[in-house]
Chain A
Amino acid sequence: MLMPPFILHHPSTVEEACKISAELIKKGEDFDWVSGGTDLLANYKWRINTKPHVISLSNIPGIDSVSNLEIGCMARLSSLEGSNVHPMIAEAAGKVASSLIRKSATLGGNLCLDTRCFWYNQSEDWRRSIDWCHKADCGTGSDCRVIPNQNTLCVATYQGDIAPVLMVLGASVHLIGPNGERVMPLSEFYQLDGMKKNVLEKGEFLLKVTLPKDSMKRIGSYQKLRVRDSWDFPEAGVAVSWLEGDKGSIKVATTALESIPREHKEEVSQIIAEGWDDKSVKALAGAIRKSVKPVNNTALPPNYRRSVVQVLVKRAFSQIK
C-alpha cells in the first residue's frame, strides 16, 4: 500500500514543535502529530483523514523518560513492560497489540489513540462505496453508519488499554502547545465524541503523564477482553485499584465500550458507602453494565460486550481483595 504524500517536520525540542504547530495554524495548514506511528500511519495508508503536514516527536530528546511517577509521551510501550512503573501499567502495556508493535508504539500515542469503527477503519474505496461516514465524510456531510439518522455525534470506539489503568491510578496529563502548558487529571482529558476524542486543542500535544505519590501503593487489576491473545484491541476492558484496606480509595474505569475510556465515580460511591462484599460488587458490576453504552462497531456484538463487563468487574475485584 502506498503512503499518501505529506511534509514531515522533525522538531528537536518541545519549543520548536510548538513553534512549528503555531506556524502551521497561522498559515491555515492542517497537520497531525506522530510519535510511534502505529496508529496514524496505518490510517494514512487507508487515506483516512490524511493531512498535508505531519509533525514527528521522535527527534525530541528527553520526552521518553520512564519512572514510577512520570512517563514521557514518547516512552515506548515495550520499555514500560519491564520497567519499574506500577505493575498495572506494565501489564496493560504488555497486553497492547503485538511485541513488534509495542517496540514502536508510545504511551502518548496510546492515550491519544484514534477511535475505531468498522465503518471507518477501511480503505478509501471501501468507504467511498458506503458514501463515507460522519467521522471521515470527505466533505459530503455524511451520516453516521452505526446509528443512522443522527449526524451530531461520532460513536467510534476508543480501544486503548493503558488509559483506564492510569485513570484508576489517579494519573494527570500534561498538555503543551503554542499557548503554554496545562495539567489535568486523565479522567478529564477525554471528551465524549468519537471525532474530538479529547480536550487537546489544535497545536497541542500530550507531553507526559504524572502519577500521584501514593499510586505505587495502590494494588489493582486490569481485565482485558479480546478474541486473540495477541494483536487484538480490547473489546472491553476494566481497571480497578485501591489502597489496600481503604475502601474509600476504590477506583474503577472502563475502556473499549464507548468513544472514551471512563472512570466510574458515581457507580463506585455505592460500594464505598455499603462496604465491599460479593453482593455489593455484583451490584456495582450491574451498575457499570447499565452505564456503558457500547455500539455495534467492533468485532464482538455490543450486547455481549455489555453483559460481560459484569464478569470483568467481578474478576478485577476478586484479584485485588
Chain B
Amino acid sequence: MSAGYRQQPNSARKDGKRVAGKQVFPPPGSGGSDPVMKERDLNFIPESVGGKEPQPAGSHIHDRIRTGTVIGKPLPLVDSNAKVTGQAWYGDDVRLANESIGKILRSPHHYAKIISIDTSKVEALPGVIAVATGADSPHSFGVLPVTKDEHAMAVEKVRHMGDLVACVSAVDEATAIEALGLFEIEWELLEPVFDPKKGLEDHDDPIHWRGKYHLAKTNVQKRVFQEFGDRSLVENPFSSSHGKWTMAGVHHGFTEPHAVVAHWDPNGRLQLYTPQQVPHYTHRALSTVLDVPMHQINVIRTFVGGGFGGKSDPFPHEMCAAILARKSGRPVRITFDREEVYWINRGRHPSNIEVKMTADDEGRISGFDIDALIDGGGFASFGHVTSYYNGVLATAPYELGSFHYTGARVWTNKPASGAMRGHGAVNTRCAVEVGLDEMAEEMNVDPIDLRLANLLPPHSRTITGFRITSNGMREALERVREGSNWDEKFRKLPLGKGIGIGCGFFISGSGLPIHWDPNRFPHATVHIQVDMDGGVTVHTGAADIGQGSTTAVAQVVSEVLALPIEMIHVRSHESDTSPVDLGSYSSRVTFMNANAAIRAALDIREKLLDAAWDILGYHPNTLIINDRRIYYKHDPAIGVSYLQALHKAQEDKGALISSGSYRSPPMGGVHKGAAAGLAPAYSFSAYVAEVDVDIELGLIKCTNVWAAHDCGKALNPLAVKGQIIGSCHMGLGQVLSEKMVYGRTGHLQNANLLEYKIPSIHEMPHVEPIIVESSDPEGPFGAKEAGEGPLLPILPAVVNAVYDAIGIRYNDLPLTPDIIFKGVEKKRKKLKLEEATELPSPRFTHGPKSIELQKSLMKRSQEHKKRDLARQKTEDTSPYVNGVLFGFDPNIPLEDQVEGWRMATEPDPEQLAELGLAGRAWLKKEQRQMESEK
C-alpha cells in the first residue's frame, strides 16, 4: 500500500552534486528563492505543540497549525519591492489608450441653489469631448445606506465651497481647465452655516432635508443619547474633573491625491481604476448611480498611496469619470490637486467635547458624562457611526459606575468630515484620559495607579455590553511605566520638562457590516488556488492601503501550508476576480481576512495531508507539514515532498481550490445603537510621552514616546512597529500642529501641505514600540488590530506631559505655540510673576489621606493583576460584567440588583434641561412628531 519511499540522510557527494536515487535530505519541494528545505523553526511554534515559543497569555486554537514559517517573524511587506522601485501603480499611473482628461467644476459659493446651468459654450469649445452636470446623475448615494445624501454632481444646490457642480472631459488638461471657465451658472445664494453650534438651531434652508425624520428645521444629522448604570453614584463625588474641549478638524494627509480612470470596455462593462479602501462600496454606489447591475462593473483597486479613512467613501468624482466615459466612449482620467483633496476631505470632525467625570473615595470611577458636538460638514459620510463612536468607545478599558453620553452631528457648509484613523474615538479619548489625570491630580495619586486599579479584566463586558475578550491593558501600562522610568520622573522633572500617560481602546473590526445583511453573508471571503507548479494564488478583496493586509494574508497562508512566502501570490485588485470583501475600515482587514484565509488554507492543507497519507500510509495526525515537505512524525526520513503530495491530490481534478470565510459572532446588547462599537475583539494601548516645552515661546517638542500596544499577537512585528511609529507621527500632528483653518469668511485657508502642518522628521520623537501579546481567542493566531488603536493614546499622553512640564491644563487641540503662550501668560499674570520661567512646576502634595488612597489603589491593582491573569488563561471562567468593582453580582442582571440602574437611549423629559451642548438637539422634535401633534 505504501508508495512512500525512504530517503537516506547524508548521502551527498563530496562535490555537492546529488546522487541519483539518493537525494540529499531534505529534498526540495518546488523551489522558491531557496530550493533547500529549512528545518522547522521551533522558536516560533508554541510550547503546547512541541515548539519553544512561550505563551504567557495561554494557548490558542490556531497553535496546532503553526509551522514556524513566518508568523511572528519580522518580514518586509510583500509589496515593498514594487513601492521602493517605483513600479507600484497608483491611481494616476493608469494610462489607457485614447484617454481623455476630466476636470471638475467646483462651487465658488458656500451654500447656493443652482437656478440654471448653461453648457453650450463649453460644448462648443474645440477639444471638449463630454460635459456632464447634476442632471446626468439623479441617483443619490452614500457610504452608509441610512444616509445616502450625496450626488455625483450637485442636483439642486451646492453645500460647500468646492462642492461638485459639473464636469468636463477634453483632449488635454489645458483644454479641460479652459472649458471650466465657460460654464454659465445662475445662482441663488443661501445663508451658510459654519458654526456647529448654529447647526443645532432652526434654519430657513436646512442643508439636507430628511422629510418626516428631519429634526425640526435644524441641521442636526444625527443625535444620540445613552445613559447606563447607577446615576446616583455620581452625586457627592469624592473627586471630579471637568473639561470643555475645542478640537480642530484634521485631515488624513495621505501622499497620493485621489485619482480615477473610468473606461467602458467594448462589451459595455465599466472598468473603473481607483485607489479605494472599500472597493466594494464603490462598486455598489456605482451600480446605483449609473443604473447598471453590479456584475457589469469591474472595480480595479490600484495601489493606494495612503488612505487612513480618507479613501473609504464612494466618491462623486468616481461617478463623474464613469459618466463622462459613458457619454464619450473614451477612457476618462481625473486626478485631484491637493486643494481638491481637502475639498472632498472626510477628515476627523471638528469637535466640541465636554467631559465630566467623578470618582468615589475608593478611587473608583463612578461616572463618565460625555457631550460631543461634532461638525460634519456638508454630507453625512460615516457620520452616523461617528456620532456613536464619540461616546461608546470611551466605555473601556475602565470599569464605570455609570455612563452618560449625548452626541450630535450637524451639517455645516464646509467640506464633509468622515472617518479617519481612530474613527470617532480619538477626540473623546483625549478628553477622557486628560480628565482622569486631572482627577488623579486632585486626589494626589499616581495616574497610572489610578488606571491600574480601575481596569476591566479579560473576558468581561463593558457597561454598554461590548464583549471584551483578550485584554492586555494592564501589561501595556506596566511596561510603559517601567520602560519610561515613570516613577523617577513623574512630577519630579524641572520646569519645561514633563512626562504624561494616555491609554487607548479600539475596535478590531466592526461587528456589523455597513450594509446590514440578514442573509448572514460573510464579512470576508478568501479563495485559494494551487496549480501543478506549486505556487499558491490567493484571491481576496482586502484592500492593502499600505498597512500590509496583503502581507498578512500571504503570511497566514504561508504559515498554514508551511510554504516560503514567495510561493504565495495574493491577487486583490479586481472585483471580477476577488471575492467580496467589505474593505479597509474599522481595523477589520487582518482580523477578518486572515481568519478567512486560514480557513481556506486549512482546506488545502487537509487535501495535501490526505494525499501524503495515500502515499506514505501514515495517518495525517502523525504527519508533520514543514517547508515543502510532509513527513512522519516519528521518523522524519519518511516523507514526501510538497510537490509529490500536491500532484497526488490533483489526480483527476487539477488545481486545488478552496474558499474560506469569516463572519463575526452574534454579540452585544439590544438597545438602540447597541451595534455601534461592537467588535469581535478590542485592542488596548498605553503610551508615555516625554516633552520639552519652550515656556517663553510656547513651542512643544515631544522627545520620547514609549508606546505599548496590545495587538493580540504580532503576526509581523515589523509591520506592527511601523504602525505604532506611524500612528505616533499622525497623532502628534493632531496634538501639536495640524488643523483645518476656516477663516472669517468660512473659506478653508490652508488647503495645501505647506500651511496644513504635518510634522516633519524633525518633530518626530524617539519612539520605543512595545508589543503586548494577549492572544485573542478569536483572532488569527491570536492577532488583533494594530492600525488605528495605536493613534489614540499619543494625544492625551502629550497633553498630560505638557501639564507635567508647566502646570497648565489645555483643552484646545492642536496645542499650537500661540495657545501655549496664552496659557502661560495668563498664569504668569495671575501669579504676578516677572518671567514665565519662574512658573512653579506641578508636584505631588501628599497628605495622609492621599497616601492611604494611593496605597489602597496599589493594593487593589495587585489583586486585580492576579484576577486578570487567571481570566486571561481561562483558569477563571466566571462571568464578569462592568459593575463588579462596585459590588454587584455578575450572575444577576444589574437592573434587578439596583433600583435606578438605567439603560436608556432617550432622555427623560425632566433631564432635557440639564443636557450639554450637543444634548440640546434633544430639545427639538422630528417632523413626524410635530405633525402628529398638530
Contact = CB atoms under 8 A, between A and B. Distances in A.
B636 interface: no
Interface string A120-152: 011101101110000000000000010000000
A229 interface: yes
A227 B743 CA distance: 19
B177 interface: yes
Given A118-B750, A125-B106, A229 B762 contact: yes
B737 A129 contact: no
B762 A227 contact: no
A228 B757 contact: yes
Contact of B763 (A5, A229, A303): A229
A227 B696 contact: no
A118 B749 contact: yes
Given A304-B817, A308-B821, A228 B759 contact: yes
B762 A230 contact: yes
Nearest to A235: B817
B161 A227 contact: no
A15 B825 CA distance: 57
B108 A308 contact: no
A126 B747 contact: yes
B751 interface: yes
Nearest to A233: B754
Nearest to A298: B755
Contacts of B751: 122-123, 126
B415 to A, nearest CB: 13
A271 B698 CA distance: 27
A225 interface: yes
A307 interface: yes
Nearest to A42: B754
A8 interface: no
Contact residues of A: prevailing secondary structure: loop
Contact of A299 (B108, B173, B757, B762): B757
Contacts of B743: 118
Contacts of A231: 754, 760
Interface residues of A, number: 29
Nearest to B822: A304
Contact of A300 (B109, B760, B761, B816): B816
A232 interface: yes
Nearest to B825: A307
B256 to A, nearest CB: 15
Given A2-B173, A125-B106, A300-B817, A225 B737 contact: no
B337 A1 contact: yes
B697 interface: yes
B344 to A, nearest CB: 14
Nearest to A123: B339
B614 to A, nearest CB: 63
Interface in B802-827: 816-818, 821-822, 825
A126 B339 contact: yes
Interface in A141-191: 145
A123 B817 contact: no
A228 B762 CA distance: 7
Contacts of B759: 228
Interface string B736-769: 0100000101010111001101011111000000
B174 interface: yes
Interface in B696-722: 696-698
A278 B95 CA distance: 66
Interface string B335-378: 00101000000000000000000000000000000000000000
A301 B818 contact: yes
Given A229-B760, A299-B757, A311 B818 contact: no
B836 to A, nearest CB: 9
A125 B337 CA distance: 12
Contacts, number: 74
A305 to B, nearest CB: 8
B823 to A, nearest CB: 12
A173 B840 CA distance: 49
A130 B821 contact: no
Nearest to A299: B755
Contacts of B109: 129
A303 to B, nearest CB: 8
A85 B761 CA distance: 28
Contacts of A126: 339, 747, 751
B760 to A, nearest CB: 4
Interface in B96-127: 106, 108-109
Given A129-B109, A228-B760, A307 B747 contact: no
Contacts of B173: 2
A129 B761 contact: no
A169 B687 CA distance: 48
B762 A308 contact: no
Contacts of B757: 227-228, 232, 299
Nearest to B750: A118
Given A225-B697, A229-B760, A231-B760, A2 B817 contact: no
A129 B177 CA distance: 17
Contacts of A1: 337
Contacts of A145: 745
A241 to B, nearest CB: 21
Nearest to B836: A311
B339 A304 contact: no
A129 B754 contact: no
Interface string A209-244: 000000000000000010111111000000000000
Interface in A274-321: 299-301, 303-304, 307-308, 311
Contacts of A122: 751
Given A2-B177, A228-B762, A300-B818, A129 B750 contact: no
Contacts of A123: 337, 339, 751
A304 B821 contact: yes
A129 B762 contact: no
Given A118-B750, A225-B697, A227-B817, 18 more contacts: A2-B174, A2-B177, A5-B174, A98-B760, A123-B339, A125-B108, A125-B162, A129-B161, A228-B757, A228-B759, A231-B760, A232-B754, A232-B757, A300-B816, A304-B698, A307-B821, A308-B697, A311-B696
Closest 10 CB pairs between A and B? A229-B762, A304-B818, A230-B760, A129-B108, A311-B696, A118-B749, A228-B760, A2-B173, A227-B757, A301-B818
27 contacts: A2-B174, A5-B174, A118-B749, A121-B755, A123-B337, A123-B339, A125-B106, A125-B162, A125-B339, A126-B339, A129-B109, A129-B161, A225-B817, A227-B817, A228-B762, A229-B760, A229-B762, A230-B760, A231-B760, A299-B750, A299-B757, A300-B816, A301-B818, A304-B698, A304-B817, A308-B698, A311-B697
Interface of A: 1-2, 5, 98, 118, 121-123, 125-126, 128-130, 145, 225, 227-232, 299-301, 303-304, 307-308, 311
